[in-house]
Amino acid sequence: MLDLILKNGLVCDPANSIQSILNVGIRNGRIACLTSESFPAAAEIDCAGHIVSPGFVDAHSHEDDLRAGHIEADITLRALRQGVTTLVAGNCGDAPRDLPAYCAAYDGKQPVNMALLAGHTTIRRLCGARNKYAPVDEATLAAMCETLERQLTEGAKGLSMGIRYEPGMTLGEMCAMAAVVKRFGGVLAAHVRGDAFEIYDAIEEFLEIGRRTGVRLQISHIGSMAAYGQMAEVLSYVDRRAAAEGLDVRIDCYPYDAFCTSIGATTYDDGFLDRYHDVTRIELTDGEYKGFIPNMEVFEKARREHPEYLTIAHVMNGAEVDMALTHPRTMLGSDGVLLNGAGHPRAAGAFARFLAQYVFERKLLSLNEGIAKTTCEAATRFGLDRGTLGIGRAADVTVFDPKRLKDKATFAEPALPPEGVRLVLLGGVIALQDGEVLRTDLGKIL
Ligand SMILES: [Zn+2]
């Protein structure tokens, strides 16, 4: 007898080339059968008119902080509400300092699963490097490599770098760390050194790390790096170099034409208006300066007084974001990040927005392509036992109504959950049904 059967939905499982009306049987937390027959089950849910997908896997996200032994479910809860069952977090160089402590506070207490990367900047700080603009000495680098090795042993799936945020990182330092990642078979993800017209050198530097070490590369949130007139050239350059040199490169991107980062970040160091042109298109999400920045004086004052405040910069070209998201190398990554519950709508809306717009409304991608970019591609890349409805696999499942699926989160109200997500299962247990969150404790660190 099955524990649960999801009947009559359009099952879409790109990893197994399945796209047909089937019943999905679940037993002991795993997929037991995909069948056109009906088997007895303790519970059944009719999914007619709905798409039954593997739970979405977010290729690039951030994690809620561990504070005093506790993790507030903020990013993770917004993920669950849009059908994401696994987040790849620890991105842009910033990850938990103590993986075992983070796992202990996470397992069985959070709404979705998480895979973590080690963070280059986090490890730099742990090993005593305080100055983001300065290179590290040999002894510090040796300690960093040792720390990274320990974190990879503790379960990190690779390493993230926030090169933009830590300009003192040299090619030598990055290659030494990348070589450790390569030994463990992990992924090296990077928010590269520059954006807009700086992107060409930044991509070349990142590819050079792959060339020298053979590590698998992941270019983070390419929309916010190259959607200023450079995207076509960058994508074709990556394709050409990867083909010619055997480099293993993937990309992630979120479906918005505005980026989000703290106002104190190096992104806004001297000369940033050469790249983004107009300070009045930058919006603060928090505090007394909340809203669009009227002029440079206010920008500089806010940056001095509250470097931690998040900004939304409405400066990217949407057609270039489309180009990135429809490219075969690209997977969906929300880049969800929040401060005091405020931030960019991508944390609550990226997945619904991507599928609704790119697959169902504008038909830029097939259903199979859209679901692959939101499930198996990231799972495969990061070595996770998720992203497919194969028999015997963990029953993380998302059921949605393709006619109703729509993101509701906006820049004014970034926390609103999407419409159209009918059912989310983690390990065969119902976490969300008809918009109502039933369980928030099913997640674990993968
Ligand atoms: Zn980043």
Averaged pLDDT, 316-337: 95
For residue 320, how far is its CA from the centre of ligand 1 (angstroms)? 18
Angular region, 341: left φ>0, alpha ψ -120 to 50, beta rest:
left
Ligand 1 centre from 329 Cα, in Å? 18
Residue 112, pLDDT above cutoff 80: yes
Tokens encoding 27: 């037993």
* SS3 state at 439: coil
Distance from C-alpha of 303 to C-alpha of 428, rounded to nearest angstrom: 47
pLDDT surpassing 90 at residue 389: yes
What is the CATH number that goes with domain 55-388?
Answer: 3.20.20.140
Per-residue pLDDT at 338? 77
* Cα 425 to ligand 1 centroid, rounded to whole Å: 29
- 2-21 mean pLDDT: 97
How many angstroms does the Cα of residue 160 sit away from the middle of ligand 1? Answer: 9
**Res 224 pLDDT > 80:** yes
In the beta sheet, which residues pair with residue 57? 86
How many angstroms does the Cα of residue 221 sit away from the middle of ligand 1? 7
Rg (CA), the chain: 21
Q: What is the pLDDT of residue 397?
A: 98
Whether pTM > 0.75 for this model: the answer is: yes
Kindly state the average pLDDT of the residues 83-109: 96
Q: How far apart are CA 51 and CA 58, in angstroms?
A: 19
CA separation for the pair 257, 234 (Å, rounded): 17
CA of 49 to the centre of ligand 1 (A): 37
Distance 390 CA to ligand 1 centre (A): 33
Contact 244, 251 (CB under 8 A): no
Quote the ligand 1 centre to 428 CA distance (angstroms): 33
Work out whether the CA dihedral 159, 161, 166, 168 comes out positive or negative. positive
360 CA distance to ligand 1 centroid (A)? 28
Bridge partners of residue 35, in order along the sequence: 23
State the pLDDT at residue 288: 85
378 CA from centroid of ligand 1 (Å): 17
Q: pLDDT tens digits, residue range 28-86?
A: 999 999 999 888 999 999 999 999 999 999 999 999 888 888 988 889 999 999 999 99
DSSP secondary-structure letter at 281? G
State which amino acid sits at residue 44: E
Segment 369-380, tens digit of pLDDT: 999 999 999 999
Cα–Cα distance for residue pair 279/122, rounded to 1 Å: 30
pLDDT digits (tens, 9 = 90+) for 164-177: 999 999 999 999 99
338 φ/ψ angles, rounded to the nearest 5 degrees = -140, 155
Start-end of H helices in 198-312 = 199-213, 222-226, 231-245, 272-276, 296-305
Query: If you average pLDDT over residues 409-421, what whole number do you get?
Result: 91
Q: How far is the CA of 273 from the centre of ligand 1 (A)?
A: 19
pLDDT in tens, 131-151: 999 999 999 999 999 999 999
Distance from the CA of 262 to the center of ligand 1, in angstroms? 11
Half-sphere exposure of 141 (CA within 13 A, CB side): 18
Phi, psi of 193 (to 5 degrees): -70, -30
Q: How confident is the model at residue 430 (pLDDT cuts 50, 70, 90)?
A: very high
Model confidence at 276, pLDDT cuts 50, 70, 90, reads confident
Contact 432, 91 (CB under 8 A): no
Q: Domain limits of the chain?
A: 2-53+401-437, 55-388
Q: What does the DSSP 8-state code read for residue 359? A: I
CA-CA distance, 180 to 182, in Å (whole number)? 5
CA 263 → CA 272, 300, 373, 412, distances in Å? 12, 9, 31, 18
Q: Count of alpha carbons within 13 Å of 361, Cβ hemisphere only?
A: 11
Report whether 315 contacts 353 (CB < 8 A). no
The CA 371 to ligand 1 mean position distance, Å, reads 24
**CA 116 to centroid of ligand 1, rounded, Å:** 15
Distance 239 CA to ligand 1 centre (A): 22
Determine the pLDDT at residue 285: 85
Residue 25 CA, ligand 1 centroid: distance in Å: 39
Name the packing angle between helices 367-374 and 346-354 (round to 10°): 150
Task: Reply yes or no on whether the pLDDT at 314 is more than 80.
Answer: yes
Average the pLDDT over 354-373 and give the result: 97
Q: In this model, does residue 422 exceed pLDDT 80?
A: yes
289 — pLDDT class (breaks 50, 70, 90): confident
State residue 41's pLDDT score: 94
| Ligand 1 centroid distance, CA of 219 (Å) | 10
Å from CA of 261 to ligand 1 middle? 8
For residue 13, what are its two tokens? 């499982």
The pLDDT, as a whole number, for residue 151 is 98
The encoded tokens of residue 40 equal 């007895």
The rounded Å distance from CA 361 to ligand 1 centre is 28
Helices 318-325, 231-245: axis angle to 10 degrees equals 20
Quote the ligand 1 centre to 43 CA distance (angstroms): 43
DSSP 191: E
Helices (H), 246-332: 272-276, 296-305, 318-325
Length of the chain: 446
How far does residue 127's CA lie from ligand 1's centre (Å)? 22
Categorize the per-residue pLDDT at 439 as very low, low, confident or very high, splitting at 50, 70 and 90: very high
DSSP conformation letters of 221-251: -HHHHHTTTTHHHHHHHHHHHHHHHT--EEE
Confidence (pLDDT) at 436: 95
Ligand 1 centroid to residue 225 C-alpha, Å: 9
Residue keyed to tokens 């926030």: 162
Q: Which CATH architecture has domain 2-53+401-437?
A: Roll (2.30)
Residue 18 main-chain phi, psi, to 5 deg = -105, 130
Ligand 1 centroid from CA 132, angstroms: 16
**From 102-116, 375-389, 408-422, the region with the lowest mean pLDDT:** 408-422
Report phi then psi at 443, rounded to 5: -80, 150
